[in-house]
Amino acid sequence: MKTDFRSADLDAPTRAILEFTEKVTLAAYTVQPSDLDLLRSHGLDDETIFDVVEVVAFFNSINRIADALGIELENFLDTVNLPSVPAAGDD
Domain parsing of the chain, residue ranges: 5-78
Name which CATH class applies to 5-78: mainly alpha
Q: Please determine, for residue 84, whether its predicted confidence score (pLDDT) is greater than 80.
A: no
Question: What DSSP assignment string belongs to 21-78?
Answer: HHHHHHHGGG--HHHHHHHHHTT--HHHHHHHHHHHHHHHHHHHHHHHHT--HHHHHH
Q: Please give the pLDDT value at position 76.
A: 61
Q: Please give the pLDDT value at position 45.
A: 98
Q: Please determine, for residue 91, whether its predicted confidence score (pLDDT) is greater than 80.
A: no
Residue 73 CA to its chain's centroid (Å): 16
State the DSSP code for 13: H
pLDDT digits (tens, 9 = 90+) for 57-83: 999 999 899 899 998 777 665 666 666
Compute the distance between CA of residue 1 and CA of residue 10 in angstroms, rounded to an integer: 10
pLDDT digits (tens, 9 = 90+) for 10-51: 999 999 999 999 999 999 999 999 999 999 999 999 999 999
In percent, how much of the chain has pLDDT > 70?
Answer: 77
Q: Please determine, for residue 89, whether its predicted confidence score (pLDDT) is greater than 80.
A: no
